[in-house]
C-alpha cells in the first residue's frame, strides 16, 4: 500500500463512506433546513453551492484532515514562492506571478521575476496600442483587422476559450481566429476568411518546435509571401510568442517581434503570459489586465482563506471524495453560457494533462485513482444530448453547473429559460423521482414497464457556480479557481501536475513513421496492426 492509502486520514474516509452510502442527498436536505447556508461559499459576486453533494459535516472534516495530512498549506506556499515543484523538469510553477497585481517580489533562485513580468506586459500594451491605433501597418499600409493565432494545446485553447467567452468585450473592427490542427483544412478555412494585407499572425509556441504549429506557420508565411511577393512583409505580419529566441530567429521572425515568457510558465497555464497576446489584441489590454486582476483576487483567496472556506480547496476535496471513495471516473463541466463554449475543452487539457499521472513524486506507481476524465459542453445543448446518462445511467458523474445571472445585452426571457433549466437540472439530479411519485403521476393503469422507466434514483452530486456576469475580472477568477483545484488534487495524490511526458511517446513515434510514408513500399518494422494500417494507407491514399 502507498503512503496515501495507508494514511489514517484516508482509512477514516473509507470507513466513513460506508455510512454515507446509506444516505440520500434528498434526506440530507430534509434533515437540515440550513444545509444550503452551511454548504455554500461566496467570493465577490460568485455563489458556490456545494450542498447537493453526498457529504455531511463529518465528511468535510475528514477531507480537510486529509488535506492537512498532505501539508497542503506548505505546498501552496511552495508554489507561490517559486520553489521548483515541477521536479521532473526542475522548474518553478509560477503562473500566479504573471497575474501578481500586488507586484510584491516573487523569487526564483533569489531573482525577483516581477520586473521581467512587468516589462513583458508593457511590451504587450505598447504593441496593442500601435495595432489598435493603426500605427502598425500591413505591407500595403493598411491597418490590422484580423489576428490569427497559430498554436496548439496550451498555446491555443486558453486564448481561444477566453476570447470566445468575452466576445461582448471585443474591440470594434477586430476579429480573432485560431489555427491548431495539422490537418491543412484548419488553416485553409481561416485563410479563406482573411486578407493578407490586414492579417497579423501570432505564432504561439513555448518551445517554438511543436510540429503542428511550425508546419502551419510556414504554410501561412508562404501564403503571405505569395501575395506580398516581398520578404520584408514577414516583419509586418508575423510575431512570435515563445520562450525560445533561437528557434524564433531561425524561423525568420525578427526577435524585436518576439513576446517572451519563461520556463516557469507551463503551457496549459500560459494564457496569462504573452501567449495571451491574442486576448489583449482582441479585447484590449485593459480587459486583459482585468482578467489578470480577477485571477489575482482568486489567488489571494486560495492562498489565505482557511481551507473550510476556500473554494478551490473544497472543489478539489469534493472531487477526491467522488473520485477515490465513490469511484467516479469522470467529471462534467456544464456552463449555461453560450460564450463558455470552450470552457470544458480548455480544462480537459488543464486537468487531464496535469493530473493524468500514475507514478507519484518518488516515481512509485500509485494504487489509487488520479485525475478524472473531464468533459462537457454548454447547456442546454448537453441536456438534449448526454444528460440522459447522467440522470438514469449506471455511472455517477459529478457535475459542475455554471451560470451568469445577467446575460450581455438586454434582460430577456431566454435568459430566464436558460437559468430555469440550470436550476431544474441540479434539482432533478439531486432529488430524482421515486417510484411512489411516478405511480401517483401515472395513475393506476400505468404499466410496470413505464413506471420502471420513469423512476430516477437522484442522489447525483452537483456543484453550482452562480455569478453576476461573465466579465473579464470574473472569468480570470474562475479560471484560477479551477487551476488551483487541479493543484490541490495533484498534491493530495502526490503526483507532479506540471509535466506531460505522456504526450511525448506519440510524437517520437510519429517522427519515425513520417519517412516510412514517403514511398509505396510495404513496411514490416512495427506491430502487426500498425504495419497493416500503414500499408493500407499507402495503398488507398
Catalytic residues, which ones? Answer: 353, 384, 507
Residue ranges binding ligand F6P (CB under 6 A): 152-155, 205-207, 210, 213, 267-268, 353, 500, 503
Cβ closer to ligand F6P: 72 or 239?
239
Cβ closer to ligand F6P: 267 or 404?
267
Relative to beta strand 40-43, strand 46-49 is: antiparallel
Residue 518 has which C-alpha cell?
Answer: 514517403
Q: Name the nearest CA neighbour of 287 among 295, 279, 275.
A: 279
Residue 248 has a CB neighbour count (10 Å cut-off) of 24
Closest separation in Å from C-beta 88 to ligand F6P? 13
- Where b means 16+ CB within 10 Å and e means fewer, 167-192 reads eebbbeebbbbbbbebeeebbeebbe
Residue 60 has which C-alpha cell?
Answer: 468535510
Closest separation in Å from C-beta 124 to ligand F6P? 17
Cβ pair 473, 294 in contact under 8 A: yes
Q: Give the CA count within 13 Å in the CB-facing half-sphere of 423.
A: 9
Closest separation in Å from C-beta 181 to ligand F6P? 13
What is the C-alpha to C-alpha distance for residues 169 and 364, in angstroms, rounded to an integer? 48
Cβ closer to ligand F6P: 446 or 503?
503
Closest separation in Å from C-beta 17 to ligand F6P? 35
Residue corresponding to grid cell 481566429: 177
Cβ closer to ligand F6P: 124 or 152?
152
Q: Identify how many contiguous H helices and E strands the chain contains and give both numbers.
A: 24, 13
Closest separation in Å from C-beta 306 to ligand F6P? 33
Cβ closer to ligand F6P: 261 or 465?
261
Report the run of H or E that residue 466 belongs to, with start and end: strand 462-467
Residue 331 has which C-alpha cell?
Answer: 467529471
Closest separation in Å from C-beta 155 to ligand F6P? 4
Closest separation in Å from C-beta 22 to ligand F6P? 43
Closest separation in Å from C-beta 364 to ligand F6P? 24
CA angle 462, 467, 473 (to 5 degrees): 125
First CA to last CA across the chain, in angstroms?
Answer: 51
Cβ closer to ligand F6P: 274 or 489?
274
What is the C-alpha to C-alpha distance for residues 353 and 501, in angstroms, rounded to an integer? 9
Cβ closer to ligand F6P: 79 or 203?
203
Residue 405 has a CB neighbour count (10 Å cut-off) of 12
Provide φ and ψ at 408, rounded to 5°: -80, 150
Closest separation in Å from C-beta 372 to ligand F6P? 19
Query: How far lies 200's CA from each of 136, 221, 422, 455, in Å?
Result: 10, 11, 39, 56
CA angle 87, 93, 96 (to 5 degrees): 165
Cβ closer to ligand F6P: 310 or 370?
370
Strand extents, DSSP E, 122-276: 146-150, 175-179, 199-204, 238-242, 258-260
What is the C-alpha to C-alpha distance for residues 15 and 468, in angstroms, rounded to an integer? 40
Residue corresponding to grid cell 506531460: 500
Query: Exposed/middle/buried for 109, CB within 10 Å: 0-12, 13-18, 19+?
Result: exposed
Cβ pair 335, 407 in contact under 8 A: no
Cβ closer to ligand F6P: 48 or 482?
482
Cβ closer to ligand F6P: 213 or 425?
213
Cβ pair 522, 540 in contact under 8 A: no
Closest separation in Å from C-beta 370 to ligand F6P? 17
Amino acid at each position: 500500500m502507498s503512503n496515501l492509502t495507508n494514511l489514517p486520514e484516508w482509512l477514516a474516509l473509507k470507513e466513513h463512506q460506508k455510512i454515507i452510502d446509506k444516505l440520500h442527498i434528498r434526506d440530507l436536505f430534509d434533515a437540515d433546513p440550513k444545509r444550503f447556508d452551511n454548504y455554500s461559499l461566496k467570493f465577490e459576486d460568485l455563489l458556490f453551492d456545494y450542498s447537493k453533494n453526498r457529504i455531511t459535516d463529518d465528511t468535510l472534516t475528514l477531507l480537510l484532515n486529509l488535506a492537512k495530512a498532505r501539508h497542503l498549506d506548505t505546498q501552496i506556499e511552495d508554489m507561490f514562492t517559486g520553489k521548483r515543484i515541477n521536479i521532473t523538469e526542475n522548474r518553478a510553477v509560477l503562473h500566479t506571478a504573471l497575474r501578481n497585481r500586488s507586484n510584491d517580489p516573487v523569487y526564483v533562485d533569489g531573482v525577483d521575476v516581477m520586473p521581467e513580468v512587468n516589462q513583458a506586459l508593457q511590451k504587450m500594451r505598447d504593441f496593442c496600442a500601435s495595432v489598435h491605433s493603426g500605427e502598425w501597418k500591413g505591407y500595403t499600409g493598411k491597418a490590422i483587422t484580423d489576428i490569427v493565432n497559430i498554436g496548439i494545446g496550451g498555446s491555443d485553447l486558453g486564448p481561444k476559450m477566453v476570447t470566445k467567452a468575452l466576445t461582448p468585450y471585443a474591440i470594434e473592427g477586430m476579429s480573432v481566429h485560431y489555427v491548431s490542427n495539422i490537418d491543412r483544412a484548419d488553416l485553409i478555412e481561416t485563410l479563406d476568411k482573411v486578407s493578407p494585407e490586414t492579417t497579423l499572425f501570432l505564432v504561439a509556441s513555448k518551445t517554438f518546435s511543436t510540429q503542428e504549429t511550425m508546419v502551419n506557420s510556414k504554410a501561412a508565411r508562404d501564403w503571405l509571401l505569395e501575395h506580398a511577393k516581398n520578404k520584408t512583409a514577414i516583419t509586418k505580419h508575423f510575431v512570435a510568442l515563445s520562450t525560445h529566441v533561437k528557434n524564433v530567429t531561425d524561423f525568420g521572425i525578427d526577435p524585436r517581434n518576439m513576446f517572451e515568457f519563461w520556463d516557469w510558465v507551463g503551457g496549459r497555464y500560459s494564457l496569462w503570459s504573452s501567449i495571451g497576446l491574442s486576448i489583449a489584441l482582441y479585447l484590449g489590454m485593459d480587459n486583459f489586465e482585468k482578467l489578470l486582476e480577477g485571477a489575482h483576487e482568486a489567488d489571494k483567496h486560495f492562498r489565505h482563506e482557511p481551507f473550510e472556506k476556500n473554494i478551490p480547496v473544497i472543489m478539489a476535496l469534493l472531487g477526491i471524495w467522488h473520485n477515490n471513495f465513490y469511484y467516479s471516473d469522470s467529471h462534467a463541466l456544464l456552463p449555461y453560457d453560450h460564450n463558455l463554449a470552450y470552457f470544458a475543452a480548455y480544462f480537459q487539457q488543464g486537468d487531464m494533462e496535469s493530473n493524468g499521472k500514475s507514478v507519484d513524486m518518488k516515481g512509485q506507481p500509485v494504487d489509487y485513482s488520479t485525475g478524472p476524465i473531464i468533459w462537457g459542453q454548454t447547456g442546454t445543448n448537453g441536456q438534449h444530448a448526454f444528460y440522459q446518462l447522467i440522470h438514469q445511467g449506471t455511472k455517477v458523474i459529478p457535475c459542475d453547473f455554471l451560470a451568469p445571472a445577467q446575460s450581455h445585452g438586454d434582460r430577456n426571457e431566454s435568459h430566464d429559460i436558460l437559468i430555469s433549466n440550470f436550476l431544474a437540472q441540479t434539482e432533478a439530479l439531486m432529488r430524482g423521482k421515486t417510484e411512489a411519485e411516478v405511480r401517483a403521476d401515472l395513475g393506476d393503469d400505468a404499466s410496470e414497464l413505464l413506471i420502471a422507466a420513469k423512476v430516477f434514483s437522484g442522489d447525483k452530486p452537483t456543484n453550482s457556480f452562480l455569478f453576476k456576469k461573465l466579465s473579464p475580472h470574473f472569468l480570470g477568477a474562475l479560471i484560477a479557481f479551477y487551476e488551483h483545484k487541479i493543484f490541490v488534487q495533484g498534491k493530495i495524490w502526490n503526483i507532479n501536475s506540471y509535466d506531460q511526458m505522456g504526450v511525448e511517446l506519440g510524437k517520437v513515434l510519429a517522427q519515425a513513421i513520417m519517412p516510412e510514408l514517403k514511398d509505396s513500399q510495404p513496411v514490416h518494422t512495427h506491430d502487426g496492426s500498425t504495419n497493416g494500417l500503414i500499408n493500407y494507407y499507402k495503398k488507398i491514399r
